[in-house]
Structure 1
């Protein structure tokens, strides 16, 4: 079985993959509640002969599925969590299926299935004896809360992978070559004393006062942190009736910076501010560490392999009907959004891209050597084994993720992108399994840039996955 045969295997599974993607879209499940979604994926892989292990990292919806024997081992990451409040019909008008319900606003129904299609195709190549090694599909829950891969990595799930591949739906197709920020996610719960705010205020100790003072302290802290650091917070429990001194209040913080040491330094500072706020208000504070991730560092040589396969596969084969619906969706968001989201497109392509409803052709990497100010739990994987990712056009040009327009696309023409991504992943994995010298180059770069065996999870050993926590 040659590489073109492996890619064609994806086409032979097309109907099954499309059906699965639609099913996942129709039953969106938020982080760590992806019970049915993970079960469907597990069933499909087990039926294909993969050896499946569930409950990875203490999370019931995390799993790995292996096929093959011996080295090298190539992993493909899959995600399947949805977003709260993103319910939407396949329509160019805002129309929730269920008011306040979940929806696939980031395309993880496509992500799960595209990665699955790639793994199934490589399984055929291993079974036929044309390549040697092991293919692993990593079922990764709770990406939206930066939990899934973090706890899988801490449990050693990726330790034996020689390389890993991932992708993500987007409005354009391109290798993902930028780095991201490391991050800590923490909650601070203050406890005081309730009292009648008018009759006996002296008896009370306000937890909300403590939260407000903490947030004020962090605002003054901002002047003295590095320019590329980011600190954001949200008050998730802010008291009740105004005439009751609130006895409890909780604030949720994200602390980000380009490297783990800086994140930890800034987190210690935020901890000190929380302690100071508790002292000033004579309350107590409890710190809950939820999750923490490392920066994502792409492997350039492996990214070249992905880019070669993007060029080989070519454009996502959207139909005229797909482009028409994408045009209807494109009309519903601000033209300035389109301009801002396409600023990094090469000037030679920019006007053509902006004038398209769907731009299906692959573009060169637009973020090489850049640092994105977001974070991803893929960062932990990239500290353990070489990783390459790519964006694949699934949405109207300029469409931002986590919007109802994207949910509508993910339930319709974007399913074609899952098939496309499966072919790219299958081609790249085939290259790694069939060319020892190529994989050696990938590993050499990893050892030079990251180093072997140096990964240490940001999450302390005593912290369990927030399986029962409402972190949506």
Structure 2
């Protein structure tokens, strides 16, 4: 069998897929608010004969679309949430479409659609009788807050997968083999007594004092946690007028470390700090666990199949006009930022990319054996079933994610990377259906790599935090 059906199916839908990337880009929606974006994708899958389950994991904008029957079952993950405050036109100057509005600075408008194209093409191959089994598209909301897949995992929707595939926009193309940091997201709300801050301060008990004391304690913790751990926070409610002792104040913490065990240990210490702050300020506090995730475990077996298909596809088909616009965007990025972004690459690739506006040729993994300083909810899926993902070159070389330059690219030439991603994911899925030995090897690898079976980091009482946005 060949993969011609995959490539033909995606090319036949090219215009439609590119239009979808732009529809989602033009209507950016924050995590757990992606009603239009999720609806566009879910409706498209339903129109192609997929059975769609909506509202998965207690989230209105999460869905699972299934086509086919029997084994194996291969999942393809898609995302579509935007970021707050990153509204930007398709231009090489900072120019919001709407000041303060959201924007697709991480390229999830491309992400969700590229994965969609792959799922539809695999459906074509099953329908044509070339493949036997089941393909699933997972509509995953709220990745930016590390919520969607964690709550979906708790609902058990990944439990019967034989493998899952995904990708993510970036400034270069390569399989992602590095690990990520596990994370907890917790909000602490302190309650005190209001009073006139000048006339009768002795009558008040400041919740803001408690927040500040807690943050001071958090700062002193930094010396005594591992260098690769991260503790960061923002005050989400600091009170009102200065002449009123704040009766309520809240602080939102992220705790990250290379393992769930380390994250839980640091979070427990942070809970003690909150209790101490409450005692010192004579206030009380409530602890709200928002979400948490594991560290990512890449499947080397599946990643190697991904790379083979990336190389078979070659470079993304950017035009001279695309490269010209990318060069204009690159001119607006600080040299230091570009150097930092390229520092992870091997020397030969770094030198080759440095003088280019777009570097879309696939390369071998450059992060194997490393631990990235961020977190991803794909990690929770990777503890349940073998997972492989790759970076796709959607942006000018050196572009940082969550930047206005990325937003501009995601609304323009980045759409071609979504087509490329669809072909790579679809072709890789085809290989997994066609050769059972790959899935067997990947399952064995996960059993040998994973320290223990997956356990949800979420307390039973945790609910999807629809009121929390992160940039």
Q: TM-score, normalization: structure 2?
A: 0.98
For residue 8 of structure 1, report the CA deviation from its aligned partner: 2.6
Tell me, in whole angstroms, the C-alpha distance in 1 between the residues paired with 2:387 and 2:8: 24
- Which residue in 1 is equivalent to 2:233? 233
Tell me, in whole angstroms, the C-alpha distance in 1 between the residues paired with 2:4 and 2:335: 40
For residue 456 of structure 1, report the CA deviation from its aligned partner: 1.2
Tell me, in whole angstroms, the C-alpha distance in 1 between the residues paired with 2:168 and 2:374: 15
For residue 2 of structure 1, report the CA deviation from its aligned partner: 2.0
- Which residue in 1 is equivalent to 2:455? 456
Matched position secondary structure for 2:463: coil
- Which residue in 1 is equivalent to 2:180? 180
- Which residue in 2 is equivalent to 1:69? 69
- Which residue in 2 is equivalent to 1:197? 197
Tell me, in whole angstroms, the C-alpha distance in 1 between the residues paired with 2:254 and 2:396: 30
In structure 2, relative to structure 1, the CA distance for the partners of 1:90 and 1:192 (3 Å cut) is same
Residues 1:3 and 2:34 are matched in the alignment: no
For residue 333 of structure 1, report the CA deviation from its aligned partner: 1.1
In structure 2, relative to structure 1, the CA distance for the partners of 1:470 and 1:420 (3 Å cut) is closer
In structure 2, relative to structure 1, the CA distance for the partners of 1:469 and 1:220 (3 Å cut) is closer
- Give deviations 1:319-349, integer Å, cap 9, x for gaps: 0000000011111111111111111222122
Matched position secondary structure for 2:395: coil
Tell me, in whole angstroms, the C-alpha distance in 1 between the residues paired with 2:432 and 2:352: 34
Aligned runs of 1:431-442 on 2, under 5 Å? 431-442=431-442
Residues 1:262 and 2:262 are matched in the alignment: yes
- Give deviations 1:173-213, integer Å, cap 9, x for gaps: 01101000110000000010011111101100011111111
Tell me, in whole angstroms, the C-alpha distance in 1 between the residues paired with 2:352 and 2:183: 37
- Which residue in 1 is equivalent to 2:219? 219
Residues 1:30 and 2:30 are matched in the alignment: yes
Tell me, in whole angstroms, the C-alpha distance in 2 between the residues paired with 1:387 and 1:436: 16
Aligned runs of 1:63-462 on 2, under 5 Å? 63-450=63-450, 454-462=453-461
- Which residue in 1 is equivalent to 2:465? 466
Tell me, in whole angstroms, the C-alpha distance in 2 between the residues paired with 1:28 and 1:97: 11
- Which residue in 1 is equivalent to 2:43? 43
For residue 266 of structure 1, report the CA deviation from its aligned partner: 0.9
Tell me, in whole angstroms, the C-alpha distance in 2 between the residues paired with 1:327 and 1:45: 36
Tell me, in whole angstroms, the C-alpha distance in 1 between the residues paired with 2:470 and 2:287: 15
Tell me, in whole angstroms, the C-alpha distance in 2 between the residues paired with 1:292 and 1:468: 16
- Give deviations 1:42-88, integer Å, cap 9, x for gaps: 11000101010001100000000000101000000000001111111
Matched position secondary structure for 1:461: coil
For residue 471 of structure 1, report the CA deviation from its aligned partner: 5.5
**Stretch moving more, 379-388 or 333-342:** 333-342
- Give deviations 1:412-453, integer Å, cap 9, x for gaps: 00000000000000110000000011111111101111278x
Matched position secondary structure for 1:422: helix
Matched position secondary structure for 2:175: strand
Tell me, in whole angstroms, the C-alpha distance in 2 between the residues paired with 1:297 and 1:39: 30
Tell me, in whole angstroms, the C-alpha distance in 2 between the residues paired with 1:390 and 1:224: 35
**Stretch moving more, 79-88 or 459-468:** 459-468
CA RMSD of aligned residues (A): 1.1
Tell me, in whole angstroms, the C-alpha distance in 2 between the residues paired with 1:433 and 1:451: 27
- Give deviations 1:378-428, integer Å, cap 9, x for gaps: 110001000001000000000001111111111100000000000000110
Tell me, in whole angstroms, the C-alpha distance in 1 between the residues paired with 2:469 and 2:135: 34
For residue 5 of structure 1, report the CA deviation from its aligned partner: 3.0
Equivalent residues of 2:79, 2:111 under 8 A apart = yes
Matched position secondary structure for 1:30: coil
Matched position secondary structure for 1:135: strand
For residue 467 of structure 1, report the CA deviation from its aligned partner: 2.6
For residue 464 of structure 1, report the CA deviation from its aligned partner: 1.1
In structure 2, relative to structure 1, the CA distance for the partners of 1:216 and 1:468 (3 Å cut) is closer
- Give deviations 1:114-153, integer Å, cap 9, x for gaps: 0000000000111111111100000000000000000000
- Give deviations 1:278-313, integer Å, cap 9, x for gaps: 001100111000000011110111110111111111
Tell me, in whole angstroms, the C-alpha distance in 2 between the residues paired with 1:143 and 1:172: 21
Matched position secondary structure for 2:275: helix
Equivalent residues of 2:83, 2:470 under 8 A apart = no
For residue 470 of structure 1, report the CA deviation from its aligned partner: 5.2
Q: TM-score, normalization: structure 1?
A: 0.98
Q: Which runs of 4+ in 1 moved over 6 A?
A: none
